[in-house]
């Protein structure tokens, strides 16, 4: 779709003490596209997301947002840029209703008093804009919602603030088949509305169902970022497990990556 | 998002407008699903009142009704503060003796030092606020469990009261204004005026909200339900004021005794203020959020520590007001003010009223309803001539029953997904 990415990362390094978790990572998220971020456990997906959302500081590398270099030092910076992260859980309060959850921490007020009618209207419009019709009442408590509906509310909460980049951390991990389809449909709709969407997932079916690009992390290195149509299921699995697949990914001995410095001849973040 | 285009198909307008019937059946479904709220307290209150009235006709007299209010006032006020702490899933075991400390400060300032009543009241409330700040800081910043912090407070404040009381002597409170709080009544006319103002204000708020919401095309409760709520409040207040305005002096020629006890409008005002804070301000919303899911609240940008400290401040501040009322009622402060059963009655009142010990669920009204249940048990069993021993056992059993209902309804709510 769009040629220039909304968010581009170059040469990101991050380590926790002696352990280098991200090594010279390049990553791009395009508006109107779903970019799937895949990788095995410990590959650095969550760390990368936390760097983008400002929870972790990075040691090296540059962030380019909307064409200009930015620095993201706190979650507040990320939110100011329009970056919202939807976590797998821990994002909603069971004892509050849908509207209350969507506006939590950013309530609309008129004077001292909460402006409930405005919030309810905005929430209704946002959900309608995402074509969500599965919730009965905006005033029902979140505890009465199904897993898919909760995820929907969490995503709608992220969209409510005119965000530009929405990062979804395993949104379908705990869901059944029908609910997964529901959430994936919503993810697709976000991108169709022009947002840049980053989807972290372990599930290859989800990734292929919804993504435009796939970025694969292997032991802290971005081994490939390619169009979904240019790659097969088994190639992605190979990238995740071995860091290479045919002419994609790391060149040289895959086994040597975990130790020592990165080989000089690899092409991190190679976009085909 | 083109607002006008999508509004027609918004989720809110997909559901059919509720009728009186659907409102009632919705409520019934929530109750069956475990969202019982204050229902057990209301039922308990009715059963107890009817039971005691049959067993001891003197229970159901104007004089005893007025007694009930003044007897239960201090515990109810402390319980109102405790609701805030319980909403976060914390506990304040020191609230009873904190009220004792504040009452002792009050008595010392007004009687020993001879300052006017408002200075003494201010000193007492400030003492409460300071106590609450210290407790809150220890819980939120140092990270000690509130149970331990306030247990330490429970022990220490007991000692503070003793020290302030000069090792056991009691201090009389003779200031007219302070004594009036729990011992004098409003004139019947003023009682009616306040009741009318309360009903009028409530009706205005309800009708304005109804009009505002329907004007914006949002779902509203049917107007009949709104009218029923207003009517219900009018009937309850009307009957209460009428009964309290009856002459209850044994000998009218010597002294006339009628009217609403002054402490009643004080409780009512605080009930309205705190309910407003909890339900209509973002601060109140954040209290519920932290009680429901502290991590989600933190990620939403809410300062969880600040909320945590503030609820302890409110709790101890309300304990101070409870202590002032207790001092007024007894005309004095002694080393046991705020001691013995006060704290447990207050916690019991909040829980019996429907505030959850697990946090995230509760209202200030719960404390008032629960406080009424406790006061009725205490008063009724006293009239029946039972000993303190039996009273304690019964109150304990009622508290246990309330906590059981809370736990069971939570399980049921978890199973049915309603809450």
Domain ranges of chain B: 36-184+303-416
Query: What are residue A198's DSSP bridge partners?
Result: A35, A167
Task: Give pLDDT, residue A99.
Answer: 92
- Interchain proximity B280–A141, CB inside 8 Å: no
- Residue ranges of chain B whose CB lies within 8 Å of a chain A CB: 1, 3, 6-7, 9-15, 212-213, 216, 218-219, 280-282, 285-286, 288-289, 291-293, 295-297, 299-302, 360-361, 413-414, 416-419
Q: In angstroms, rounded to a whole number, what is the distance separating the alpha carbons of residues B286 and A114?
A: 12
pLDDT band at A89 (very low <50, low <70, confident <90, very high): low
Residues in B touching A109 (Cβ below 8 Å): 282
- Interchain proximity B292–A95, CB inside 8 Å: yes
Q: In angstroms, rounded to a whole number, what is the distance separating the alpha carbons of residues B24 and A132?
A: 28
Q: In angstroms, rounded to a whole number, what is the distance separating the alpha carbons of residues B158 and B292?
A: 33
Residues in B touching A106 (Cβ below 8 Å): 300-301
Q: In angstroms, rounded to a whole number, what is the distance separating the alpha carbons of residues B388 and B71?
A: 15
Question: Between the ranges A68-72, B165-169, B265-269, where is the mean pLDDT highest?
Answer: B265-269
ipTM at complex level: 0.82
Higher-confidence position of B317 and B296: B317
Q: In angstroms, rounded to a whole number, what is the distance separating the alpha carbons of residues B320 and B128?
A: 5
Query: What are residue A95's DSSP bridge partners?
Result: none
Q: What value does the mean pLDDT take over residues B96-104?
A: 94
A80 touches chain B (CB under 8 A): no
pLDDT band at A3 (very low <50, low <70, confident <90, very high): low
- Interchain proximity A138–B7, CB inside 8 Å: no
Residues in B touching A136 (Cβ below 8 Å): 11, 15
Q: Which of residues 121-160 of A touch B (CB under 8 A)?
A: 121, 124-129, 132-133, 135-139, 141, 143-145
- Interchain proximity B282–A127, CB inside 8 Å: no
User: Distance from B125 to chain A by nearest Cα, in Å?
Assistant: 24
pLDDT-above-90 percentage for chain A: 14
Residues in A touching B296 (Cβ below 8 Å): 90-93, 104
Domains of chain A and any CATH numbers: 7-210 (3.40.50.300)
Q: Is the Cβ–Cβ distance between B55 and B362 less than 8 Å?
A: no
Residues in B touching A91 (Cβ below 8 Å): 296, 299
Q: Render pLDDT for B313-371 as a digit per residue (tens, 0 to 9).
A: 999 999 999 999 999 999 989 888 888 788 988 998 998 888 988 888 899 999 999 99
Task: Give pLDDT, residue A258.
Answer: 40
Q: What value does the mean pLDDT take over residues B181-191?
A: 89
Q: Cα-flanking dihedrals φ and ψ of residue B261, to 5°?
A: -55, 140
Of B15, B296, B419, the CB nearest to A136: B15
């Amino acid at each position: 779709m769009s040629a220039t990415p909304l968010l581009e990362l170059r040469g990101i390094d991050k380590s926790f003490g002696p352990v280098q978790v991200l090594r010279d990572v390049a990553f791009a998220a395009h508006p109107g596209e779903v970019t799937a971020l895949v990788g095995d456990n410990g590959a650095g997906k969550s760390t990368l997301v936390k760097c983008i959302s400002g929870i972790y500081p990075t040691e090296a590398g540059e962030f380019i947002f909307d064409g200009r270099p930015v620095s993201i030092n706190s979650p507040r910076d990320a939110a100011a840029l329009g970056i919202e992260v939807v976590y797998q859980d821990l994002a909603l309060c069971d004892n509050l209703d849908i509207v209350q959850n969507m506006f939590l921490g950013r309530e609309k007020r008129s004077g001292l008093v909460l402006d409930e009618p405005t919030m309810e209207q905005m929430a209704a419009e946002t959900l309608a804009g995402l074509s969500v019709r599965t919730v009965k009442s905006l005033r029902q408590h979140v505890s009465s919602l199904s897993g898919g509906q909760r995820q929907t509310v969490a995503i709608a909460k992220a969209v409510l603030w005119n965000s530009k980049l929405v990062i979804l951390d395993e949104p379908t991990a705990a869901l059944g088949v029908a609910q997964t389809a529901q959430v994936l449909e919503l993810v697709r709709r976000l991108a169709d509305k022009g947002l840049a969407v980053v989807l972290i997932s372990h599930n290859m079916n989800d990734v292929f169902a919804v993504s435009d690009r796939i970025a694969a992390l292997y032991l802290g290195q971005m081994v490939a970022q390619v169009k979904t149509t240019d790659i097969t299921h088994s190639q992605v699995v190979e990238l995740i497990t071995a860091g290479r697949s045919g002419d994609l990914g790391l060149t040289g001995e895959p086994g040597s990556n975990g130790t020592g410095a990165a080989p000089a001849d690899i092409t991190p973040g190679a976009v085909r | 998002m083109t607002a006008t285009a999508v509004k027609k198909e918004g989720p809110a307008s997909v559901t059919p407008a509720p009728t009186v019937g659907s409102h009632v059946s919705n409520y019934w479904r929530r109750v069956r699903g475990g969202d019982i709220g204050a229902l057990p307290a209301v039922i308990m209150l009715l059963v107890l009142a009817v039971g005691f009235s049959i067993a001891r006709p003197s229970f159901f007299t104007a004089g005893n009704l007025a007694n009930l209010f003044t007897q239960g006032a201090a515990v109810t006020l402390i319980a109102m503060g405790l609701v805030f702490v319980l909403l976060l899933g914390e506990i304040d075991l020191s609230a009873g003796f904190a009220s004792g400390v504040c009452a002792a400060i009050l008595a010392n300032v007004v009687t020993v030092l001879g300052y006017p009543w408002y200075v003494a009241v201010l000193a007492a409330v400030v003492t409460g606020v300071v106590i609450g700040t210290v407790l809150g800081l220890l819980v939120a910043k140092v990270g000690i469990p509130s149970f331990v912090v306030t247990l330490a407070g429970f022990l220490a404040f007991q000692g503070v009261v003793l020290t302030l009381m000069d090792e056991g002597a009691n201090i009389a409170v003779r200031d007219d204004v302070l004594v009036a709080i729990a011992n004098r009544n409003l004139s019947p006319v003023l009682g009616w005026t306040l009741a009318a103002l309360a009903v009028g204000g409530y009706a205005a708020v309800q009708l304005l909200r109804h009009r505002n919401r329907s004007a914006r095309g949002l779902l509203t409760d049917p107007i009949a339900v709104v009218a029923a709520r207003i009517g219900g409040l009018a009937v309850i207040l009307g009957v209460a004021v009428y009964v309290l305005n009856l002459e209850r002096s044994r000998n009218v020629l010597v002294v006339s005794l009628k009217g609403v006890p002054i402490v009643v409008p004080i409780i009512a005002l605080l009930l309205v203020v705190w309910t407003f804070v909890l339900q209509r301000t973002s601060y109140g919303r954040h209290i519920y959020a932290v009680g429901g899911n502290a991590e989600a609240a933190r990620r939403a940008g809410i300062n969880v520590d600040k909320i945590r400290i503030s609820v302890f401040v409110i709790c101890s501040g309300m304990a101070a007001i409870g202590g002032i009322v207790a001092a007024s009622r007894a005309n004095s402060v002694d080393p046991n003010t705020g001691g013995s059963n006060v704290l447990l009655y207050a916690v019991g009142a909040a829980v019996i009223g429907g505030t959850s010990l697990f946090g995230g669920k509760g209202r200030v009204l719960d404390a008032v309803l629960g406080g009424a249940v406790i006061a009725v048990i205490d008063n009724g069993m006293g009239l029946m001539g039972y000993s303190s021993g039996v009273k304690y056992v019964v109150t304990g059993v009622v508290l246990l029953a309330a906590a059981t209902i809370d736990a069971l309804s939570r399980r049921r709510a978890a199973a049915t997904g309603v809450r």
